[in-house]
Structure 1
Amino acid sequence: MSLGPVVPKPLDGSVRFFSVAYLPTYTATVFVLLLVWAGAPGKDVSLRRAWRTATEVGAGEAVWILVGTTVVAVVFQPFQLAVMRLLEGGRPDALGAGLGRALQRRRKARLAARAELTGSTGEPSPELVQRAGAAAAALRRRYPLPDHLVRPTALGNVLAALRDTAGRDHGWDAAVAWPRLYPVLSDRARAVVDDCRDSLDGAARLCVTHAATALVGAALLLRSGWWLLLALVPAAVAALAYHGAVQAALTYGDAVRAGFELHRFDLLAALHLPLPDSLQEERALAEELCRHWRQGLPPPDRYFHPPDPLDSTPLPGS
């Protein structure tokens, strides 16, 4: 299960809909329309013709273009989970997945080597310690610890590292605990998480949409000579959007880890479970809860109900 789409967000506002669904669809639609107005498919392609046709578009036609773009954006909005799965590396047996996974494992090994203070004689210098610490932090954020969890793409590994590390030090399995933790986050923490998630979803949708647009553009310009190079424009946008998605995933991972650090006890309180007195007790309780959520094992059999501050009933013996 991917932690990225583990709490699918609905169309919860016009800003999210515009940035995640509408804007990528609109820019792709405009690009394809310009190619068609320029004379594609065919050999006689002219940007002047495209500009002249665009300026002659009437109000009615513009409305139909906007309505059609909105309908397409709404129809494809539920496929955001599939978009994320595709960019994470798709199915394990997908074409090229084995080669991509091997490449990512080599990159992980190089980063792990830089994180080790080896090859130096005597006391390592502060600069070397700082460089190794930065490499170790990047390794923790970008790659899961077990090699068998390594994905064939950089984005997939960032999200795999998130699932592997968020809450792990305290016994939590992020993939099953995060859907329960998210509703009890504070307003400020949820705002940060939502903003990072919107950035991730928007970059991912822009990447996939413009990659598909590049293929459509190449098909339209296949017989147009040097005009075929115009297909590189959406391809470049897709590449930049993918790198943006990786950076957004790193920030999203930091926000989710902070959510576990700050609000995991709020989750226990919401479940009416006693707060642990030590890290060992917390780990045991968290692992018990995660096994219950993940495997259907019996839940904890102890509860704690804090007294209602408005209840003035005297306690027994008072």
Structure 2
Amino acid sequence: MLGGLVSASTEALGGSRFSLLNVLPATVVVTAVVVFARAGAYSPNEPLRFDHVLPEGKRDALAIALFGLAALLCGILLRPFETALVQLLEGYWASPSPIAGLVPATVERHRRRRDDAKTVAEFDFTVPPPGANSTLRELAHHDRRISRVVRMKSRAEKVRDTYPTDDRLAAEHLEAAAQPTDLLPTLLGNVLRRGERVAGDRYGLDMMVVYPRLYPHISDRLESAVARQFELITSTASLSISFGLLSLATTPLLARLDPWSAAPLLAGALSLLAYRGAITASRGHSRLLATVFDLHRFDLAKAMHYELPGNPRAEYELNKDITDFLRPGSVAPLRDHETLESKDFKHPDGA
């Protein structure tokens, strides 16, 4: 009976995703800190006594039970902040955040990295062909030069394709002082933003505007794949922050100058590993978002009862008009829209 109650409660809170994403990261941090504290790790001159970690008597058993309950409650309370957690690692650092002042420097670093990679990727490296009477050594040297150029351009293209371009800002004639770049301060944020831009911009659709309207039309298999990939991003982002906090919490162990002094370094390495995992998952998420728009972009116009366009140019213009009308802050009625006001509806048969 108790097992069924726990299973039903977990399912109501999100199933296994709830346990992994909410309870596990917080539990790892708190458990590790409590274990090190009870073992005396924070006292540099005392040996570690892990035999003191195990509960002794009813009082310690009660403390463990309360700890488990507290971890569950923390998981429930932190559930609404999952998106904010990912946005923190994406680089949405607005005032009064204490790290908001780092945005200009970090964005400039990513801008230089993107622009340098773009220059290398698009530069025409010309390797002179070998002469007719070239020796075997000269031919081998020529092949090695070509291989180096190919590897260099391949690495540059991979870096370039990690970042969003600023083409949208130029197309919308935005003032440079208002928004100088589309880049974000972190690599994770830039990977996700490029995925958002590539998915819809090719068709004249702003993903952040139209995706909630497009979501009901996504096929079940594709929707499930997108949801799983996003869960993977949030879980690895949560683990990255948790291990980062654990690294800070165990920093005093460096004063012990024994093997346990490596604990904060190990936690920091695990935090970076989880962050890299989130970036890898974000690349897969970007491909899935592009697939959503490739396959379902016509469903938006069809659901709004507009006649489907007959060519790519007409599709792009219609999508731009729909995006502008749906954009947050647009309060003008449909009858006053500059281009949509004159379009005739095409209702489905039987509507």
Instruction: Give CA deviations for 1:139-185 in whole Å, capped at 9, x if unaligned.
Output: 33x11111711222111111221232211111111111122222221
Secondary structure at the aligned position of 2:44 is classed as coil
Encode CA deviations 1:15-53: one digit per residue, 9 max, x unaligned. 221222122112112211111111143224544x22442
Residue 111 in structure 1 maps to residue 117 in structure 2: yes
Deviation at 1:130?
9.3
Q: Which residue matches 1:316?
A: none
Distance 1:55 1:15 in 2: 28
Larger Rg: 2
Contact 2:243 2:268 in 1 (8 A): yes
Q: State the TM-score, normalizing by the size of structure 1.
A: 0.81
Q: Which runs of 5+ in 1 are unaligned?
A: 1-10, 312-318
Aligned residue for 1:95, secondary structure, equals: helix
Whether the 8 Å contact between 1:38 and 1:45 is mirrored in structure 2 is: no
- Residue 139 of structure 1 corresponds to 160
CA RMSD of aligned residues (A): 2.9
Question: Once the 2 structures are TM-superposed, how far is the Cα of residue 287 of structure 1 from its aligned partner?
Answer: 0.9
Residue of structure 1 equivalent to 2:346: 304
Read off the aligned partner of 1:50 and give its amino acid letter. Answer: F
User: Which of these residues, 254, 267, 282, is aligned with residue 287 of structure 2?
Assistant: 254
Question: What is the CA-CA distance between 1:242 and the residue it aligns to?
Answer: 0.8
Q: Deviations over 1:53-75 (max 9, x none)?
A: 23658654433222111111221
Equivalent-residue separation in structure 1 for 2:289 and 2:46 (angstroms): 49
Q: Deviations over 1:261-313 (max 9, x none)?
A: 111112222222221111111111111111112141444344222113xx9xx
Q: Could you say which residue in structure 1 is the equivalent of 2:337? A: none
How many positions carry a matched residue from both structures?
Answer: 295
Q: How far apart, in 1, do the equivalents of 2:318 and 2:246 lie? A: 49
The structural deviation recorded for 1:112 is: 1.2
Q: Structure 1 residues 144 and 15, CA, compared in 2 at 3 Å: closer, same or farther?
A: same
Task: Report the counterpart of residue 76 of structure 2 in structure 1.
Answer: 74
Closer, same or farther in 2 for the Cα pair 1:113/1:61, shift >3 Å? Answer: same
**Higher RCO structure, 1 or 2 (CA under 8 Å, sep 6+):** 1
Cα–Cα, structure 1 residues 168 and 260, in superposed 2: closer, same or farther, change >3 Å?
A: same
Matches within 5 A, 1:166-315: 166-219=199-252, 221=253, 224-226=256-258, 227-294=260-327, 295-296=329-330, 297-299=332-334, 300-301=340-341, 302-308=344-350
How far apart, CA to CA, are the structure 2 residues paired with 1:119 and 1:83? 43
Cα deviations by residue, 1:117-137 (Å, 9 ceiling, x for unpaired) = 5121689x9977797578546
Give me the identity figure in percent. Answer: 28
Match of 2:27 in 1: 26
SS of aligned partner of 1:54: coil
Q: Secondary structure at the match of 2:237?
A: helix
d(CA) in 1 for partners of 2:42, 2:261: 11
Q: TM-score, normalised by structure 2?
A: 0.74
Would the alpha carbon gap of residues 266 and 143 (structure 1) be closer, same or farther in structure 2, given more than 3 Å must change? same
Distance between the aligned counterparts of 2:255 and 2:123, measured in 1?
Answer: 57
Deviations 1:64-95 (A, max 9, x none): 22211111122122222322222122326723
